[in-house]
Amino acid sequence: MSYCLNPVCPTPQNHTDNELCQACGTKLLLRDRYRVVQMLGQGGFGATFLAIDESLPGKPNSVIKQLRPSATAPHVMDMARELFKREAETLGRIGSKCPQVPRLLDYFEANQEFYLVQEYVSGFTLQQEVKRDGPLIEHQVKQFLSEILPVLKFIHENRVIHRDIKPANIIRRAQDAKLVLIDFGAVKYQHQPSQNASEHTAFTSYAIGTPGFAPPEQMAMRPVPASDLYALGVTCIYLLTGKSPKDLDYDPSTGELLWQKYVHISDHFVGVLKKMLEVSVRHRYQLAEDIFRDLDLEPYLQSLQDSMLSSKGNTGGRKSFNPRLDAPDSAGGTPSSPAARAAMAIRARQNKSDATSLQPGLTRSRVLDSRAGLSAPLRSRDSSGQGRDSVGRSRDFSGEKAKMPIRLDAQSLQSYYTKGKRDFASHDLNSLNLPRVNLSGAMFHQSNLSKVNFQGANLISADFGRANLSRANLRDSNLTRAYLSNADLEGADLRGADLSAAYLLNANLRGANLCGANLSGAKLTEDQLAMART
């Protein structure tokens, strides 16, 4: 099909082989190369279309944006043209350097209309994923942050404020499951002085951004990089709850978003999100790397470094990811990259904490579990056994150990799961026989699962961080989006397993059998694969 770009065309759909629109006579082949096939969407300043480039071999897909303001007042048109120009300049400047930003392919004026052509990104937005699959759990949202924060860090370092961060503007690319930030139509350059009075008037007439996601200073037309971090925090709340900001209440005295009653996450992560969502920009996170550092989860540092972009030797093409942390300099001093320095700081803090904070009856493993927010949700307990869990609900912890023994048999594990229990962290599940069981979303952080039989099991989004899965039978199991960072999978049978989008960085794959496994979008290194049987 050919789609007519005339905004007033009564019947824009045409046959593929038509050269002119049968309804209005407009030429269908734009610039003698782009054939529009369908409309993708329309916003306040333009419409977006899917097109094919008939001038290139294979006729690849592309996205065409047409300047099409909803209002025709002169100051609105001036603002729309400027925003359109800024999007083209931004994509041209950073799209070629960052693989998680669409590339600019063309930018031109035709028939007194402005057009922008950019790389087509195939996949689903995070908004579509949540509507299809439901909300995410804590470790999945942290993994999301580990992937998107380096992108924000990069664009902020290039003096760009996106101003429209939201789930609908983040696509998980189908070919490699990486997140791509789209829609740079609302960008603002930092510290860019106004060129003349008319431009200043046009831009201060409208607040740009999505209500609910944009913070107060942005709606007051004073955006800063921290404004994007606020919108990212609202995006995290959407991922955890499935609720958009318009479905949540606000504190009328402070303007704060009221979201905590809808989530079940660790106290530490609550604190990180609260700081991202500070109404006062002065008390909010100022830099993307500050959020990453406060997550204090070392496994995610490798993901940050994988996504960091090297500016050295850039020839204008796309740079590949650096799969390792920077080593110390030749003198044995401080590592050069921010990720390496953050890793060193966290390791030092952890070592100091482990050496000084072990109390009678508290083991090192419980300290690590508590730090990561992955232990049983006990936060305080009085002499009667009453306490509060991680979301502040009153609970009776007396006798809980008897209810949930550390060593479980297969029948008990399935029974607890059926009743809604999901946290099996630090449990002894050695050699259990659980073929074709459904344990999707369960947490087995630091659990002993050596020689367990999970053949054909549904383990979608399960958390096996630091778990012992040596010689486990995971043949034909579904481990889509599973978290396996630092897990011991030595000698495990993963033949035919679905590991698409699984997180395997730092996992021990020595001797693991990956023949026939689906690794599309999985996070792991070539060194790990070299140790496995493929």
**How far is the CA of 197 from the CAs of 69, 82, 84, 201, in angstroms?**
22, 14, 19, 6
305 touches 299 (CB < 8 A)? no
Alpha helix positions (H), 104-185: 126-133, 138-157
Residue 391 lies in a domain: no
Residues 147 and 251 in one domain: yes
Quick one: which of 69, 103, 110 has its CA closest to 88? 103
Q: How many domains does the chain have?
A: 3
Where in the sequence is the domain holding 47, given as residue range(s)?
2-119
Residues 134 and 264 in one domain: yes
φ/ψ region of 405 (left if φ > 0, alpha if ψ in -120 to 50, else beta) reads beta
Residue 389 lies in a domain: no
Residues 56 and 98 in one domain: yes
**Tokens 């054909």 sit on residue:** 456
Q: Tokens at residue 336, please?
A: 């050069």
Residues 81 and 186 in one domain: no
Residue 347 lies in a domain: no
Q: 409 an active-site residue?
A: no
Q: Which DSSP string corresponds to 485-517?
A: TT-B-TT-B-TT-B-TT-B-TT-B-TT-B-TT-
- Secondary structure class of 35 (helix, strand, coil): strand
**How far is the CA of 94 from the CAs of 76, 165, 358, 514, in angstroms?**
27, 17, 48, 37
406 touches 355 (CB < 8 A)? no
Residue 396 lies in a domain: no
φ/ψ region of 59 (left if φ > 0, alpha if ψ in -120 to 50, else beta) reads left
Looking at 249, 282, 307, which one is the last position of a domain?
Answer: 307
Residues 137 and 50 in one domain: no
Please list the pLDDT of the chain residue by residue as tens digits (534 residues): 898 888 889 999 998 888 899 899 988 888 889 999 998 887 666 788 999 999 888 899 999 988 766 556 677 677 777 777 877 887 888 877 888 988 888 888 776 678 889 889 999 999 999 999 999 999 899 989 989 999 999 989 988 888 899 999 999 999 888 999 988 767 566 644 444 433 333 343 345 788 899 998 988 888 899 999 999 999 999 999 999 999 999 998 888 999 999 999 989 899 999 999 999 999 999 999 899 888 864 444 444 444 444 333 343 333 333 333 333 333 344 444 444 455 455 455 444 444 443 333 333 333 333 333 333 333 333 333 334 333 333 344 333 334 567 888 999 899 888 888 888 888 999 999 999 999 998 989 889 999 999 999 999 999 898 999 999 999 999 999 999 988 999 999 999 999 998 989 889 999 999 998 999 889 888 889 889 988
Residues 141 and 35 in one domain: no
Residues 162 and 178 in one domain: yes
pLDDT at res. 370: 36
pLDDT at res. 71: 59
Q: What percent of the residues of the chain are helix, what percent strand, and what percent coil, each to the nearest 5?
A: 30, 20, 50
Residue 374 lies in a domain: no
Residue 85 lies in a domain: yes
130 touches 167 (CB < 8 A)? yes
Residues 412 and 506 in one domain: yes
Q: What is the CA radius of gyration of the chain?
A: 26
Residues 84 and 135 in one domain: no
Residues 272 and 128 in one domain: yes
Give the predicted TM-score (pTM) of the model: 0.56
Looking at 249, 284, 307, which one is the last position of a domain?
Answer: 307
Looking at 280, 307, 334, which one is the last position of a domain?
Answer: 307
Residues 130 and 94 in one domain: no
- CATH code at position 146: 1.10.510.10
Q: Which DSSP string corresponds to 405-465?
A: -SB--HHHHHHHHHTT--B-TT-B-TT-B-TT-B-TT-B-TT-B-TT-B-TT-B-TT-B-T
- Distance (Å, whole) CA 137 – CA 141: 6
- Distance (Å, whole) CA 162 – CA 225: 8
- Distance (Å, whole) CA 298 – CA 302: 8
Helix axes 299-307, 338-356, angle to 10 degrees: 170
Q: Tokens at residue 423, please?
A: 């946290």
pLDDT at res. 187: 58
- CATH code at position 502: 2.160.20.80
Residues 412 and 525 in one domain: yes
Catalytic residue among 78, 106, 133, 164: 164
Residue 358 lies in a domain: no
Residue 466 lies in a domain: yes
- CATH code at position 16: 3.30.200.20
